[in-house]
Amino acid sequence: MAAAAEGNNEGGGVDILGHILDSNEWHLGPLHIPLPQFELFGIDMSITVHLLMMWIASLFLLVTLITSTKKRGLVPSGFANAIEALVIFLRDDVIVPNVGAKDAPRFMPFLLTAFLFILACNLLGLIPFGATATANINVTATLAICSFIAMIVGGIRHNGFVGYFVGLIPSGLPLWLMPIMIPLEFLGLFTKPFALAVRLFANLTAGHVVIISLISLIFVLNTLAVAPVAVMFALAIYLLEIFVAFVQAYVFTLLSAVFIGMAIHQEH
């Protein structure tokens, strides 16, 4: 869980957004570690907390996956067994049913990577002094754009450039409906990644806001009398957030697979 509320502001309240939004300082309790800030060709390339969390998540996945699969055997054990069970579940219950057995191997690397990366970022935000990179709309939008590109590329590759965009329009429509349906179907292409980005961002942000708000009641009311109730409810939401971390990674992967499958297997 991201660092809990550290104190009151001048108005007696607590800066909740300050603990959720991205920052150029990494807050380690009382320590505020400044992160490098620089520009490249006029573009801000500063290191932020959310970027740092994404690096940590990527490094963690690389180290754990490489070490757990280094010793290959007929029967995996330990963490490798858990990873294999997870991969088989996503392959057999999510990717293959939606994308198709023929096209699934082409999209499995992307979908599995997206699931593990989102899950790692979600869980990093639940540890002390961590931050949730997936509670940043820029991060979720980038992930959604990657899914959007995979959807478009898969559709064009399977149906052809013209065939894919023609296939967006349901067959058998009267000509007078075409001026209405063509813009709607075109806009529908962009609502899919928009929904992916906003859903992940909103769910991860909401949970952290609730937890920090509950803990902040102790400081806002300036009494320890509410501490047992506030901590109890915050702990309950925290446990729920662990479940949400897995669910949101699963939902993003599932919807991405569904959208890719719809682009590949168009109904005419």
Q: What is the pLDDT of residues 241-263, one digit of tens each?
A: 999 999 999 999 999 999 999 99
Mean pLDDT on 39-64: 89
pLDDT at 44: 80
| pTM, 2 dp | 0.87
Percent of the chain clearing pLDDT 70 (strictly above): 90
Answer whether residue 145 shows pLDDT above 70: yes
Whole-number pLDDT of residue 211: 87
Average pLDDT over residues 72-95: 81
Mean pLDDT, the chain, rounded, equals 85
Q: What is the mean pLDDT of residues 183-211?
A: 90
Where does the chain have alpha helices with state H?
49-68, 79-90, 96-99, 104-124, 137-159, 161-167, 178-221, 227-264
Place of tokens 């300050």: 18
3-state secondary structure of 54: helix
Examine the pLDDT at 2 and tell me if it is beyond 50. no
Is residue 43 pLDDT above 60, yes or no? yes
The whole-number pLDDT of residue 255 equals 95
